[in-house]
Amino acid sequence: MSWIDHSVWWHVYPLGFTGAFPQRDEPGRGLRHLIAWLGYARDLGANGLALGPIFRSMAHGYDTLDHCQIDPRLGTLDDFDALVTACHEKGLRLLLDGVFNHVGRDHPLFQRALSEGPDGEYAHFFALDWRSGQPQTRVFEGHGNLVEFNHANPAVACYVHDVMDFWLGRGADGWRLDAAYSVPASFWASVVPGVRELHPDAWFVGEVIHGDYARFVTDGKLDSVTEYELWKAIWSALASRNFFELDWTLRRHNDFLATFTPLTFVGNHDVTRIATSAGLDKTVLALAILMTVGGIPSIYYGDEQGFQAVKEDRRGGDDAVRPAFPATPEGLAPDGQWVYRAHQDLIGLRRRHPWLVRARVEKRELTTTHFVYTARADGEGELTVDLTLEAAPGVTIKDAGGATLYHWSA
């Protein structure tokens, strides 16, 4: 097993967490604010901190202006170095969010490309069509401020390689590749192996929504992708009281595990909170599923407290799911303590059964409101998970001998 096989990530959107975005009456607390929360993450059971974008940007972090500078709202390189040191002292790995499909329209190299014209040094660094009088810019999913790189240009591959190398050299342990699905897999294959030669232990996970996950991993020379299919099946099955959807997805999930180990989650910075989409009374069931199937699990900050919020398709529609956290854990409301404790218990169960990272699932009983499955890794272990939505939401987990390891009921 490598270090990633033992990983449970605590995923944070730094600009929101620190109060730096959206703009508030007082400045954000910066990256060092996170240091006060590392013990909280460790006590939760996490051993990795997965950060959203931290580089200098126009607004929300996914509109980068400089890939090698910390966003001034989050501090400086010294603040980053302090966070790395604190993470490693507490036994936490650090995952960075690399936005390499696009940059902010105000990025200096893009502005230089526009000013220098079709014969300039950076004319073909971005997806610009110079055939008409005015350059036509390809933007990411209709967002006018997010201009795309020209991934067919080898100079872009060199640029991304150097950025990855820079931050891994400063102590990061891996990269989440934002909007990886919008970039040809061949581009990642041209970049990642060279970075891996310099940093053999680094982990590379691509953000992929749907499609042929296994092929994308293989063709892109990646380690993993984000398994949105499982995320959708978990919340949807619980919300609609239909475990048949989850069973179907878990069979596909078994197939994925033959090729790669997915990054699994029930919440992130781009989706409605699990306590809202599935219901607060079903949050523990969602977590139990996450912790008893194969994969590298990630917990989105606030989900472990039962936070509720809706992702909306409008300007500012992400803000509610990217909230500021208080100065220290003591500032959290007590209402979420039972959810935090459930996370500790279920993450602890997973840590006592590390083979679950590659466990396949086998259906035992299935109705719309009752699902029993066995999670098994051949020769290593077996657990039985009993989920019910009948009288009240509940879950019971037993070992191979029938002893109850965990039980919860609403």
Domain count, the chain: 1
Would you state the pLDDT for residue 299?
Answer: 98
Average pLDDT over residues 114-129: 96
pLDDT digits (tens, 9 = 90+) for 358-377: 999 999 999 999 999 999 99
- The three-state secondary structure class of 69 is strand
Share of the chain above pLDDT 90, in %: 95
Q: Calculate the CA 330 to chain-centre distance.
A: 26
Total length of the chain: 410
Could you tell me the pLDDT band of residue 109, with boundaries at 50, 70 and 90?
very high
- pLDDT of 27 higher than 90: no
Average pLDDT over residues 329-352: 98
Q: Is residue 365 part of a domain?
A: no
Could you tell me the pLDDT band of residue 23, with boundaries at 50, 70 and 90?
low
Could you tell me the pLDDT band of residue 24, with boundaries at 50, 70 and 90?
low
Mean pLDDT of the chain, nearest integer:
96
Strand bridging mode 174-177 / 203-206: parallel
User: Phi first, then psi: what are they for 91, rounded to 5°?
Assistant: 80, 25
In angstroms, what CA-CA distances link 77 with 68, 122, 178? 9, 27, 22
Would you state the pLDDT for residue 346?
Answer: 98
Would you state the pLDDT for residue 283?
Answer: 98
Instruction: Using CB atoms within 10 Å of the CB of residue 167, give its burial: 0 to 12 exposed, 13 to 18 middle, 19+ buried.
Output: buried
- pLDDT of 25 higher than 70: no
Q: Is residue 43 part of a domain?
A: yes
How many CB atoms are located within 10 Å of the residue 149 CB? 23
Beta strand segments in 247-358, E: 263-265, 296-300
pLDDT digits (tens, 9 = 90+) for 221-269: 999 999 999 999 999 999 999 999 999 999 999 999 999 999 999 999 9
Would you state the pLDDT for residue 329?
Answer: 97
Q: Is residue 400 part of a domain?
A: no
Q: Both ends of the chain: CA-CA distance in Å? A: 36
Q: Is residue 391 part of a domain?
A: no
Could you tell me the pLDDT band of residue 175, with boundaries at 50, 70 and 90?
very high
Q: Is residue 304 part of a domain?
A: yes
- Do the beta carbons of residue 169 and residue 68 sit within 8 Å? no
- pLDDT of 26 higher than 70: no
The amino acid at residue 160 is: V
Could you tell me the pLDDT band of residue 315, with boundaries at 50, 70 and 90?
confident
Could you tell me the pLDDT band of residue 6, with boundaries at 50, 70 and 90?
very high
pLDDT digits (tens, 9 = 90+) for 194-203: 999 999 999 9
Strand bridging mode 203-206 / 102-104: unpaired
Q: Is residue 390 part of a domain?
A: no
- pLDDT of 100 higher than 60: yes
H-type alpha helices, 267-336: 274, 283-292
Share of the chain above pLDDT 70, in %: 98
- Do the beta carbons of residue 257 and residue 298 sit within 8 Å? no
Q: Is residue 189 part of a domain?
A: yes
- pLDDT of 185 higher than 80: yes
The residues with which 404 forms a beta bridge, in sequence order, are: 398
- Do the beta carbons of residue 255 and residue 284 sit within 8 Å? no
Would you state the pLDDT for residue 316?
Answer: 87
Q: Which CATH number covers residue 288?
A: 3.20.20.80
Instruction: For residue 29, give its domain range.
Output: 3-359
| Residue matched to tokens 């997965």 | 50
Q: Is residue 392 part of a domain?
A: no
